[in-house]
Chains A and B, each alone.
Chain A
Amino acid sequence: MARALIPLVVFALIVVFLWVGLSLNPREVPSPLIGKPAPVFELPQLRESGAAIRSGDLKGQVWLLNVFASWCTPCLEEHPYLVSLAQRDLVPVYGLNYKDGRNAALKWLGKHGDPYTGIAVDTEGRTGIEFGVYGVPETFVIDKEGVIRFKHIGPLNPRVLDEEVLPLVARLQQ
């Protein structure tokens, strides 16, 4: 009797492993940067040419870094959520304009709305590499001490924003 159950148990185990394994997203590579200080950068501002944006100046507040580009289609998908987030004024969102052209980026923002408190220009994608960016859009939550606390790869959606990003931001702001 017990012997007859063996194939059933093996089958159940395979089902469990496949269930878990196939529901994982292989594109979501866990970032080694979580819990580490955010890379230091000093980049030109997108909107005011000549001005610079420094990561050091952002310390003392919780902020989001959103990596975006005008050529990036999924960025368009998350953009309305960022715009409405900016309207709610809960947390400053800084943009990292990744491997983009200044004019294209400004035109894109003019068309779809500009939710960013400040936008750093990373034409060569160097700062992107420092942040371990491999799929645009990506969003980081950075705390008052400048430590990366959370990273989301791919377009943001209301679920991620309301259930993960905003509660974390509220906790970090206290």
Chain B
Amino acid sequence: MSRLIAAFLLASTAAFCLAQEAPPAAEDPVLEKRVKALSEELRCLVCQNQSLADSNAGLAIDLRNQVRELMQAGKSDAQIREFLVARYGDFVLYSPPVNRATLVLWVGPFILLVGGGVLLATYLRRREQKLHVQTMSADDRARARSLLDGSGSGEN
């Protein structure tokens, strides 16, 4: 059985080795590094859970080439991001900017945290008050003692 598993694992790593990254079109390693870095924070629109760097979809390759060309034309990363957002919307960015549409996304967790804190605080305070009610006052003690001593009617 373990031999079978080992064989399977070996076979799967072989397949993994065969799968290769898309060959870069330009040879400039510095530029390629920049293209890769930027395209890692951009979303591939065809295969939405992959970055532009990971995907080999036709559109992802085109967009990587576009990014490369814009870089060669001397555009900054911010300008290239702007170029893509103007055409594909904030959706291409893996880290969306703070604006009206994404406000809930950014602020929501903190509101939940504060709300949870308030709920917890009120719950704890109420619980404490309940515990206080159960402590006996001096009058209660005196009454209990008198009942226990048998000086009461015995019926109550």
| A interface residues (Cβ-Cβ under 8 A, vs B) | 26-27, 29-33, 99, 124-126, 128-132, 134-135
Q: Would A32 and B59 be within 8 Å (CB), given that A129-B66, A134-B45 are in contact?
A: no
Whether A33 pairs with B48 at a CB distance below 8 angstroms is no
Tell me, yes or no, whether B89 is within 8 Å of chain A by CB.
yes
Interface band, chain B: 10 to 19
Q: Complex Cα distance A31/B89, Å?
A: 6
- Which residue of chain A has its CB nearest to the CB of B85? A32
Q: B45 — which chain A residues lie within 8 A by C-beta?
A: 29, 134-135
Whether B48 pairs with A130 at a CB distance below 8 angstroms is no
Chain B binding surface, main DSSP class: helix
Whether B48 pairs with A129 at a CB distance below 8 angstroms is no
Tell me, yes or no, whether B150 is within 8 Å of chain A by CB.
no
In addition to A31-B88, A99-B58, A125-B62, 8 A-B residue pairs with Cβ atoms within 8 Å of each other are A29-B45, A29-B88, A30-B89, A30-B91, A32-B88, A33-B86, A134-B59, A134-B88
Q: Complex Cα distance A135/B59, Å?
A: 9
| B interface residues (Cβ-Cβ under 8 A, vs A) | 45-46, 48, 58-59, 62-63, 66, 85-91
Whether A131 pairs with B87 at a CB distance below 8 angstroms is yes
Whether B88 pairs with A26 at a CB distance below 8 angstroms is no
Q: A126 — which chain B residues lie within 8 A by C-beta?
A: 66
Q: Would A132 and B88 be within 8 Å (CB), given that A125-B59, A125-B62 are in contact?
A: yes
- Which residue of chain A has its CB nearest to the CB of B46? A134
Whether B66 pairs with A32 at a CB distance below 8 angstroms is no
Q: Would A135 and B87 be within 8 Å (CB), given that A125-B59, A129-B66 are in contact?
A: no
Q: B48 — which chain A residues lie within 8 A by C-beta?
A: 26-27
Whether B86 pairs with A32 at a CB distance below 8 angstroms is yes
Chain A binding surface, main DSSP class: loop
Whether A129 pairs with B89 at a CB distance below 8 angstroms is no
Q: A124 — which chain B residues lie within 8 A by C-beta?
A: 62
Q: What's the minimum C-beta distance from B153 to chain A, rounded to whole angstroms?
A: 38
Q: B59 — which chain A residues lie within 8 A by C-beta?
A: 125, 134
Whether A129 pairs with B63 at a CB distance below 8 angstroms is yes
A-B contact list, 12 entries, CB within 8 Å? A29-B88, A29-B89, A29-B91, A30-B89, A99-B58, A125-B59, A128-B62, A129-B62, A129-B66, A129-B87, A130-B87, A134-B88
Q: Complex Cα distance A158/B16, Å?
A: 45
- Which residue of chain A has its CB nearest to the CB of B43? A29
- Which residue of chain B has its CB nearest to the CB of A30? B89
Q: Complex Cα distance A26/B49, Å?
A: 11
Q: A135 — which chain B residues lie within 8 A by C-beta?
A: 45-46
Q: Complex Cα distance A66/B152, Å?
A: 97
Q: Complex Cα distance A86/B89, Å?
A: 31
Q: Complex Cα distance A124/B59, Å?
A: 10
Q: What's the minimum C-beta distance from A35 to chain B, rounded to whole angstroms?
A: 13
Q: What's the minimum C-beta distance from B92 to chain A, rounded to whole angstroms?
A: 9
- Interface centre among B62, B63, B85, by most chain A C-beta atoms within 10 angstroms, is B62
- Which residue of chain B has its CB nearest to the CB of A125? B62
Q: A26 — which chain B residues lie within 8 A by C-beta?
A: 48
- Which residue of chain B has its CB nearest to the CB of A29? B91
